């Protein structure tokens, strides 16, 4: 395992985006937790939403005075191929769980657990399935409080894969999901809590860019800054449906010939399948020079993502499954109208017809895209509503507040458990 070193952040810099009550509670909770030792563990330090969230959350919590470390597990290509399969199957993909997958998964979790034998943390937060089995090898004899944070949509998981990880998940002292809909009603989980992910308004990806600056950046990738642009920012993954996005673009182009499409992605170290799907996307794009497929391997960093989201006329997030979809909040924060798949955490961010559109099909997505391209006044209204929703609900400061409340309650043995009955009724933690 390796520790991740983060860029410092200051709570003071976030104050312009926060209500006074939020700032006061953050400081109070941090003071209560000043003596606690806390660890965050996940699979990678770059690429994908989890790593991005931790690059914002961890330094903010450290600035508040928490004694917190962020660790990344070690794994081979075989391990990450297996855990990518787990990711897909937990989101509903069919397939049989094999003994080889089980052996690889357990072996690497055990290897990483052996590295942790001498650790002494009061709270350990484990993110997503890759390191979930660590608790199996370390729980006995520890006074540590263990939290498992699931960032993916497990509403209709492949039963074999869910049953396998459930043997570990049920050992945790607390579990965090994004939405009640993602939790199996039959699961007996300790201190079930719901926390939505967040974006960092101070990060390079989300700071304010002037339109001319953003336009000059995207033009470096062959985009014509004087013509309308549709963009999707996401991993190259079947659940993000980039091939469907291309079909949307082709339908829109028949009625709006000047439109362009950008597919902007990040290739992550724990996602070997992503390369295969990138090649699928490139083949589907063919020789249409109005389709730009760009990644971190040909010059896309956070500032480029920011520019694409800022200057686009419409942002799509046409996911078929989605744990949350941070790119939706990012685009809403920049005042760009968003059309998203009517799935998972996207439904928590987009209020259909108020700050964006939710769609089910390629045809519906194309229709709503044309509506926004043809009606700038509608897009402007969506922009204002979207930015305010993100400010109130989906910034790093709100995310940090929810974590601190849970940490305090676990260590003090207090607080409310949002259990199975509230999953059935759709109750969300406030």
Residue in the structure block whose two tokens are 């449906």:
241
Q: How far apart are CA 90 and CA 157, in angstroms?
A: 4
Q: Who has greater pLDDT, 126 or 182?
A: 126
Q: How far apart are CA 407 and CA 35, in angstroms?
A: 12
Question: Has residue 429 got a pLDDT over 80?
Answer: no
Classified by CATH at the fold level, domain 211-393 comes out as Rossmann fold (3.40.50)
Question: Are 336 and 315 within 8 A, CB to CB?
Answer: yes
Strand pairing category for 338-341 and 356-359: parallel
- Residue 197: the pLDDT is 86
Q: How far apart are CA 88 and CA 239, in angstroms?
A: 8
Region of 227 (left: φ > 0; alpha: ψ -120 to 50; beta: rest) is beta
- Burial class from Cβ neighbours inside 10 Å (0-12, 13-18, 19+) for residue 147 reads buried
Question: In CATH terms, are 2-198+395-425 and 211-393 the same topology?
Answer: yes
Quickly count: other Cβ atoms within 10 Å of residue 232's Cβ. Answer: 28
Q: How far apart are CA 54 and CA 64, in angstroms?
A: 15
Question: Has residue 418 got a pLDDT over 70?
Answer: no
The domain made up of 2-198+395-425 is a member of CATH 3.40.50.2000: yes
Return the DSSP state at 129.
S
Q: Where are the chain's structural domains?
A: 2-198+395-425, 211-393
Return the DSSP state at 96.
P
Question: Has residue 320 got a pLDDT over 80?
Answer: yes
Q: What is the distance, to the nearest Å, from the Cα of residue 420 to the centroid of all Cα atoms in its chain?
A: 24
Residue in the structure block whose two tokens are 């939405």:
179
Question: Are 82 and 305 within 8 A, CB to CB?
Answer: no
Return the DSSP state at 43.
S
pLDDT digits (tens, 9 = 90+) for 1-34: 889 888 888 999 999 999 999 999 999 999 999 9
Which residues, 6 or more positions from 99, have their beta carbon under 8 angstroms from its beta carbon? none
Region of 122 (left: φ > 0; alpha: ψ -120 to 50; beta: rest) is alpha
CA distances from 333 to 50, 263, 307 (A): 19, 19, 13
Strand pairing category for 67-72 and 2-3: antiparallel
pLDDT digits (tens, 9 = 90+) for 134-149: 999 887 666 899 999 9
- Residue 141: the pLDDT is 60
The chain-wide mean pLDDT, for the chain, equals: 90
Which residues, 6 or more positions from 191, have their beta carbon under 8 angstroms from its beta carbon? 173, 174, 175, 406, 409, 410, 415, 417
Question: Has residue 392 got a pLDDT over 80?
Answer: yes
Q: How far apart are CA 188 and CA 146, in angstroms?
A: 16
CA distances from 277 to 83, 86, 236, 239 (A): 17, 17, 6, 11
pLDDT category at 296 given cuts 50, 70, 90 is confident
Residue 20 is encoded by which pair of tokens? Answer: 């006074």
Q: What is the distance, to the nearest Å, from the Cα of residue 96 to the centroid of all Cα atoms in its chain?
A: 27
pLDDT digits (tens, 9 = 90+) for 41-61: 998 887 677 888 899 899 999
Quickly count: other Cβ atoms within 10 Å of residue 417's Cβ. Answer: 13
pLDDT digits (tens, 9 = 90+) for 339-349: 999 998 899 99
pLDDT digits (tens, 9 = 90+) for 349-367: 999 999 999 999 999 999 9
pLDDT digits (tens, 9 = 90+) for 215-274: 999 999 999 999 999 999 998 888 899 999 999 999 999 999 999 999 998 776 556 677
Residue 193 is encoded by which pair of tokens? Answer: 């809590």
DSSP string, 139-193: -TT---EEEEE--S--SS--HHHHHHHHHHHTTSSEEEES-GGGS-TT---SSEE
Highest mean pLDDT among 114-118, 187-191, 242-246: 242-246
């Amino acid at each position: 395992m390796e520790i991740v070193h983060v860029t410092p952040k200051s709570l003071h810099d976030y104050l312009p985006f926060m209500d006074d009550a939020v700032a006061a509670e953050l400081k109070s909770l941090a003071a209560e937790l000043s003596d606690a030792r806390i660890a965050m563990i996940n699979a990678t330090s770059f690429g994908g939403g989890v790593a991005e969230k931790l690059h914002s959350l961890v330094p903010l919590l450290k600035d508040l005075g928490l004694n917190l470390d962020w660790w990344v597990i070690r794994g081979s290509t075989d391990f990450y191929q297996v855990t990518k399969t787990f990711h897909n199957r937990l989101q509903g993909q069919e397939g049989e769980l094999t003994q080889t997958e089980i052996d690889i998964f357990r072996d690497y979790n055990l290897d990483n657990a052996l590295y942790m034998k001498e650790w002494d943390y009061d709270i350990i937060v484990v993110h997503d399935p890759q390191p979930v089995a660590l608790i199996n090898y370390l729980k006995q004899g520890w006074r540590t409080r263990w939290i498992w944070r699931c960032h993916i949509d497990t509403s209709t998981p492949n039963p074999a894969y869910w049953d396998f990880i459930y043997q570990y998940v049920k050992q945790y002292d607390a579990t965090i999901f994004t939405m009640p809909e993602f939790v199996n009603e039959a699961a007996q989980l300790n201190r079930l809590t719901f926390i939505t992910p967040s974006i960092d308004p101070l990060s390079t990806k989300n700071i304010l860019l002037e339109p001319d600056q953003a336009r000059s950046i995207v033009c470096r990738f062959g985009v014509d800054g004087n013509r309308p642009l549709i963009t999707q920012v996401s991993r190259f993954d079947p659940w993000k449906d980039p091939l469907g996005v291309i079909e949307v673009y082709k339908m829109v182009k028949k009625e709006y010939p000047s439109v362009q499409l950008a597919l902007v992605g990040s290739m992550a170290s724990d996602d070997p399948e992503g390369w295969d799907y990138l090649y699928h996307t490139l083949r589907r794009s063919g020789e249409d020079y109005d389709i730009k497929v760009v990644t971190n391997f040909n010059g896309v960093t956070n500032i480029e993502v920011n520019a694409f989201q800022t200057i686009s006329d419409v942002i799509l997030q046409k996911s078929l499954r989605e744990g949350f979809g941070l790119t939706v909040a990012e685009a809403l924060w920049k005042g760009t109208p968003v059309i998203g798949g009517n799935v998972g955490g996207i439904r928590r961010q987009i209020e259909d017809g108020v700050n964006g559109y939710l769609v089910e099909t390629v045809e519906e997505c194309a229709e709503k895209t044309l509506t926004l391209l043809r009606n700038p006044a509608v897009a402007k209204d969506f922009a204002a509503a979207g930015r305010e929703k993100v400010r109130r609900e989906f910034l790093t400061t709100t995310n940090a507040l929810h974590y601190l409340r849970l940490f305090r309650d676990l260590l003090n043995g207090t607080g409310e458990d949002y259990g199975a009955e509230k999953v059935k009724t759709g109750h969300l933690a406030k």
